[in-house]
Amino acid sequence: MVGWCKKSRLKDLLPKVEGKYLPNEMMSKYTWFGVGGPAEVLFCPKDNADLADFMKKKPYNLPIFVIGGGSNVLVRDGGIPGVVIKLDSKEYKKYQLEDGKIICGAGMKNAELKKIMLENNIGGLEFLVSIPGTLGGAVKTNAGCFGKELKDVLLEATVVNGEGEEIKVLADDFNLGYRCSYFPDDWIVTQMVFAAKPQEKETTLKIIEEQKAYRMKTQPHNVKTAGSTFKNPEGLKAWELIKKTGSNAIKVNDAEVSNVHCNFLVNKGNASAQDLEDLGNKIIENVKRETSIVLEWEVKRVGVAK
């Protein structure tokens, strides 16, 4: 554990909250890779009022990072300075239905949409069900698969900004692009409104099961991975470049490339975050050397080295 975590008194400087503070909380418990050092403080707010009050009263220039379901993120071994916010209370897992809309909390897991759609005979969000993580995290990355992206179904979202103001934001104002978004770093998405359509549950279930079967056949499962590692260069496939250049054979200790899909890195058991990041960077270097194409990380790397 790095020195700033051993000696940190950050919790003593933070405002009183109704949720909970967890100092020196190991992030390896919250990431799909199963790696990552401690958050200086992990904050789980009770609700939006609690989150807004924290944002208003927190120390000036306090580093803030929001973590969703822990997929698509690589937390470095030295941990994350400042406060990591996780919207994990029951308030952020609620939903309600309106005409042609589903309103969901940011802490809801994508997979939970399956039950909602089947019980209410609605569809249109099937592609999100098989994407690991939470709905709030899906906004930040404009998650997508099977020819659809979150921007295709998002209507608006509720945000708590850096000043502790709760605001409604239209989908277009998030500037969602391919596996990215362009909105202020201090915007914390707390609730989303999605477009849905009437659909018999048999049809919805058929689509979900077909997509699940495809993923089970073509992507690794029951292993420590974070999803697609690199973005696809325009007009190309990252996995094809990795395989073509022999980069899928590169290993760093227990960090390997999946033998099911070579755009997935895998922690075989005892890999460190540094091992995984080194592996990714070696792949980038090798692909660039062989093709002059530079792969870009899709997995978000955060924190400090040990």
Reported as a single tens digit per residue, the pLDDT across 125-181 is 999 998 888 999 899 889 999 999 999 999 999 999 999 999 999 999 999 998 888
Which candidate in 25, 149, 256, 298 is catalytic?
298
- In this prediction, residues 233-248 reach a mean pLDDT of 97
Residue 15: the pLDDT is: 97
Q: How far apart are alpha carbons 195 and 125 in whole angstroms? A: 8
Domain boundaries defined on the chain: 3-86, 94-204, 222-302
Which candidate in 8, 28, 156, 179 is catalytic?
179
- To the query of whether residue 234 is one of the catalytic residues in this protein, the response is no
CATH of domain 222-302: 3.90.78.10
Residue 141: the pLDDT is: 87
Which candidate in 228, 247, 258, 272 is catalytic?
228
Count the Cβ atoms, other than its own, within 10 Å of residue 166.
16
- To the query of whether residue 228 is one of the catalytic residues in this protein, the response is yes
Comparing 114-118, 179-183, 233-237, which segment has the lowest mean pLDDT?
179-183
Mean pLDDT, the chain, whole residue set: 94
Q: Write the pLDDT tens digit of every residue in 63-106.
A: 999 999 999 999 999 999 999 999 999 999 999 999 899 999 99
- To the query of whether residue 179 is one of the catalytic residues in this protein, the response is yes
pLDDT higher than threshold 80 for residue 117: yes
Residue 1: the pLDDT is: 42
Above pLDDT 90, what percent of the chain?
91
Same fold across 3-86 and 94-204: no
**CATH class of domain segment(s) 94-204:** alpha beta
CATH number for 3-86 (one of 3.30.43.10, 3.40.720.10, 3.40.50.2000, 3.40.1180.10): it is: 3.30.43.10
pLDDT higher than threshold 60 for residue 6: no
Confidence of residue 300 (pLDDT cuts 50, 70, 90): very high
Q: Write the pLDDT tens digit of every residue in 175-204.
A: 999 888 888 889 999 999 999 999 999 999
- In this prediction, residues 111-135 reach a mean pLDDT of 94
> Who wins on pLDDT, 2 or 12?
12
